[in-house]
Structure 1
Amino acid sequence: MGVTPLELVLHAMKIKVVSCLESSYNIPLHFFLHVFGFGLGLFLVLDRNENGFGHLAGVAAVAYYQLLCMFGGRENVSLGFQESSFNLLSIPPQVGELRRLKNLRLSDCGFIGQIPREIGNMSTLKFLDLSYNEGLQSSNLGDWITNLRGLEYLDLSYNNLTMAGDTLLGSIASLTNLTTIRMYGCGLSGEIPPSFANLSRLQWLGLSGNSLRGKIPAFGAPLPLSYLALSANNLEGSLPSSLGGLSKLQSLYLYSNKLNGSIPSILGNLSALRILYLQNNSLSGPIPTSFAKLSKLEVTGPAGDVAGRSADIAGDWTY
């Protein structure tokens, strides 16, 4: 005896993840959305697919998913089209109508055009990843991203944000629930706002490969930062001694800036530090003897210089 449609739907209510990774099935997208969309906490992933879903998924996917979100009490829904084929298509503004969506992942999809400001209507959003869409741009991102008060994860890496203005980072700094900020190589300019040092939940900050200038904010205790990457910018001034208070810091990338002065000895208190890159700056003077305490340090200084030499790490080291 075959499985009835009702039995299929009841079974689908238990499904949490639907993945179409590199599949060759020629099944309409709306079949998955209607049949599997009843499961609470659905995470639909169309990843690297070659099944014809790519161009169906634009406005149609948003429309179908909107209907599903209307079914009572969906509290933990996610939508992901990571590494799918949307070449030369823009993100439909209708995506902003998914008011209960918590996770939106649209990375490496070949999207172009403006990032729709309607995303700012998604007030329950916690995870937003639009990375690796080099044709995406925005001139008003700072105006609406402040509406995403519950946002915890933000990745806008390798988009074109050169027109977003110097105030964008100030707007992002108002999102106090952020734990991860990834904005590599996206054309950021201006200074890193001092208020970034007040993001009390921030664990990962990656702003490398931009055109940021000014001084490094006074990141320090009690920030839970474990990863800080500000390399390949135009940052200047001295290394803030407050960095020595980042007790959970494991990776620090500050190479290829315009930093000067000596290395604060208090950085020897970074007991969790594993990776440290400071090359291609104008730092000078001896490496503090306190660095001999960094027992977990694996890579430091000029590229390829491996630490682990205890007191031998001391001495002159000009960058």
Structure 2
Amino acid sequence: MWNELTGTIPKEIGHISPLRLLLLNGNKLFGSLPDELGYLSNLNRLQLDQNNISGPIPKTFVNMGRVRHLHLNNNSFSGQIPPQLSQIPTLLHLLLDNNNLSGYLPPEFSNLPELRILQLDNNDFGGSVIPASYGNFSRLVKLSLRNCGLRGAVPDLSGIQNLTYLDLSQNHLTGPIPTNKLSDHMTTIDLSGNQLNRSIPASFSDLPSLQTLCLKNNFLTGPVLTDIWQNMTFSTSARLKLDLRNNSFSSIQGHLNPPVNVTLRLEGNPVCKNANLLNVSLFCGSESEENETRTNLNNSTANCPIQACPRDNNYEYVPASPLPCFCAAPLRIGYRLKSPSFSYFPPYIQPFEAYLTRSLNLSLYQLSIDTYSWENGRLRMYLKLFPSINSNHSSTFNVSEVQRIRRRYMSWTFPGSNLFGPYELLNFTLLGPYADIKFENTKGIRKSVLVAVVVVGAACAIAMSAIVTILITKRHAGQRRAMSRKRLSSKVSMKLDGVKDFTFKEMALATDNFNSSSQVGQGGYGKVYKGTLPDKTVVAIKRAEEGSLQGQREFLTEIKLLSRLHHRNLVSLVGYCDEEGEQMLVYEFMPNGTLRDWLSAKSKESLNFGMRLLIALGSAKGILYLHTEANPPVFHRDIKASNILDSKLNAKVADLVSHG
């Protein structure tokens, strides 16, 4: 995990039959998954998230009869989700968000007896409905289908007794919100950005654990229900966020006097124009979006003498130590909850601390949550683990204890938690007195074997030195010959989240040597060609003209930026070419043309108002993502009809080049 691995996943891994953990997340792998991975019948956890793996999800995965965790999110998977996955009886977590999946939602998933988390955000199931059978999940805790192009009605999910988190936002759902009462465990309901109508269900006033109710940007009418918070008992760490912006609420039902830990937003509703309503203006002003972040949660050591603890050697006071001003060296751990079932952390900090220390066999005071912050629904935190004061007041962990804790994290044997969901180890940092700890154990290697290794290594080094010398000589000769070209290529191999590095030859073959019959457009950047890759993928290739060429650093910086933009309403970057004095960007191809083509009647059918509205909403969602969710934000300064591409009337914003 979290290395610089590139290339494709070899099919031979599928023959390692005893394999239980296959953890390749956070690398730069690309290509499609081999069917042979389905042979891993003993696999418990498959983590391939945060790469750029493409192609379909193999149907052979149904043979993974013991797998509990399939984490395939943040890749470029495409095509239909195999319904066969519903035959895996042990599956707990299915994370497929932030891909290019399409087709329909398999209704068979509701038959998965152990499924706790189904997360499919930011795919394109264009026009598919949420199956009514999803109301029959027996153990589901989290259902997240944000920005999936879904249509139809919100299904009745009141029968899911453990449901805690529901996100169906940024779709095209219509009709009323079901009135039956959801689970008492509900913490989060997000139905924003749809076309829902009628009133807020009265059953929303009887959800004791609710933290977030987001209904903004719909067509809801009727009164605002103030008893949503009046029936709740708040602790000092609890919070309720009600976001009802941009609907058609015209009145208030009850007394508008929410407690301090209730946030109510009403701007964009007719009720905000009613001057006769007392205090209503307090909730109609614009406010900045709150991003929950905490730093240095424990301050109990404020009165300890600074000079007495040598911080320059990684020592610091243990914040919650029962022994006042106890100074020790912590282990530093980067940790992320990949799919928690809540949207506000403070009420769950103490349960989390108890869960984690119990899993590590530590005392509560040995854990300190240094910082935490939300990252698109995932909760990143930095933890410090301190040694026990019972070991002769030692200020450091011994080596065996460090190894035990690290092994515990990396074996993924923490007890399951519906509330906290799956976790992700980001780093295990050893500083100060732990900096020299080595985890490799070579005691069992005989001296004769070590001698042989040294001898063979020396021979290999001599041979490699000769080979490198020859290669360098040939390379210099080749560079001198290349200087007579139009200009010397400054190509640097780069794999960013798996964005493919194409050769000039591959681009020429894809476009029939840039034949004029392949040209589909031209702009300030250069000509655009329709190309077909060897795997039959159709792409759009932007070839920069001489006057548009950038310096290599600027070109690669732009690719880095584009590789981080993933949204259903943006045209996806497939790869790039930086070879033989050429600069090309390779995008997914949009077969139905641009909005300009449709408006100028080049298409065979005209656009009615409803179609125009859908295209406008889709392009607006793409721009909203660029401005508010992309990291760093991107400000698109070239919005025009020719830069909004249309596929089945699902708009995709294009031409992001040089507008960041």
- TM beyond 0.5: yes
2:94 to 146, 149, 154: 154
CA distance in 2, matches of 1:80, 1:312: 40
- Residues 136-159 of structure 1: CA deviation (Å, up to 9, x unaligned): 1133x3342222222111011112
Q: Are residue 234 (structure 1) and residue 172 (structure 2) matched?
A: yes
2:207 to 255, 265, 270: 270
1:265·1:289 contact (CA, 8 Å) conserved in 2?
no
Superposition map of 1:146-295 within 5 A: 146-162=86-102, 165-166=103-104, 168-188=105-125, 189-221=127-159, 223-242=161-180, 244-291=181-228, 292-294=230-232, 295=234
Give the aligned length.
253
Percent identical pairs in the alignment equals: 27
CA distance in 1, matches of 2:131, 2:35: 30
Alignment partner, residue 520 of structure 2? none
CA distance in 1, matches of 2:28, 2:265: 52
1:161 is paired with a residue whose SS is: strand
CA distance in 1, matches of 2:110, 2:172: 20
Q: Are residue 137 (structure 1) and residue 78 (structure 2) matched?
A: yes
2:128 is paired with a residue whose SS is: strand
- Residues 111-162 of structure 1: CA deviation (Å, up to 9, x unaligned): 122222221211211111111112x1133x3342222222111011112222
- Residues 173-215 of structure 1: CA deviation (Å, up to 9, x unaligned): 2223210000001112411111111112010010010111111
CA distance in 2, matches of 1:221, 1:169: 19
- Residue identity in the other structure for 1:147: Q
**Is the alpha carbon distance of 1:54 and 1:142 closer, same or farther for their aligned partners in structure 2, counting shifts above 3 Å?**
closer
Q: Are residue 78 (structure 1) and residue 21 (structure 2) matched?
A: yes
CA distance in 1, matches of 2:16, 2:72: 23
Superposition map of 1:86-97 within 5 A: 86-87=29-30, 89-97=31-39
CA distance in 2, matches of 1:79, 1:207: 26
- Residue identity in the other structure for 1:287: V
1:59·1:94 contact (CA, 8 Å) conserved in 2?
no
CA distance in 1, matches of 2:57, 2:160: 34
- Residues 221-251 of structure 1: CA deviation (Å, up to 9, x unaligned): 5521111000001111111112x33200001
Alignment partner, residue 50 of structure 2? 108
CA distance in 2, matches of 1:60, 1:96: 10
CA distance in 2, matches of 1:259, 1:67: 50
CA distance in 1, matches of 2:263, 2:39: 60
CA distance in 2, matches of 1:151, 1:207: 18
Alignment partner, residue 22 of structure 1? none
Alignment partner, residue 62 of structure 1? 13
- Residue identity in the other structure for 2:92: E
| Unmatched 5+ stretches in structure 2 | 246-257, 272-660
**Is the alpha carbon distance of 1:298 and 1:313 closer, same or farther for their aligned partners in structure 2, counting shifts above 3 Å?**
closer
CA distance in 1, matches of 2:259, 2:147: 29
2:101 is paired with a residue whose SS is: coil
CA distance in 2, matches of 1:300, 1:233: 20
- Residue identity in the other structure for 1:234: H
CA distance in 1, matches of 2:217, 2:106: 25
CA distance in 2, matches of 1:286, 1:172: 37
CA distance in 2, matches of 1:212, 1:78: 34
- Residues 56-96 of structure 1: CA deviation (Å, up to 9, x unaligned): x7216615xx4361xxxx7xx22111111213x22122111
2:243 is paired with a residue whose SS is: coil
Alignment partner, residue 30 of structure 1? none
Superposition map of 1:27-46 within 5 A: 46=1
| Unmatched 5+ stretches in structure 1 | 1-45
2:150 is paired with a residue whose SS is: strand
Looking at both structures, which has the greater relative contact order when contacts are Cα pairs under 8 Å and sequence separation is at least 6? 1
**Is the alpha carbon distance of 1:215 and 1:184 closer, same or farther for their aligned partners in structure 2, counting shifts above 3 Å?**
same
1:177 is paired with a residue whose SS is: coil
1:259 Cα deviation (Å)?
0.5
2:242·2:262 contact (CA, 8 Å) conserved in 1?
no
CA distance in 2, matches of 1:311, 1:125: 41
**Is the alpha carbon distance of 1:186 and 1:311 closer, same or farther for their aligned partners in structure 2, counting shifts above 3 Å?**
closer
Relative to the length of structure 2, the TM-score reads 0.36
1:190·1:212 contact (CA, 8 Å) conserved in 2?
yes
CA distance in 1, matches of 2:66, 2:87: 10
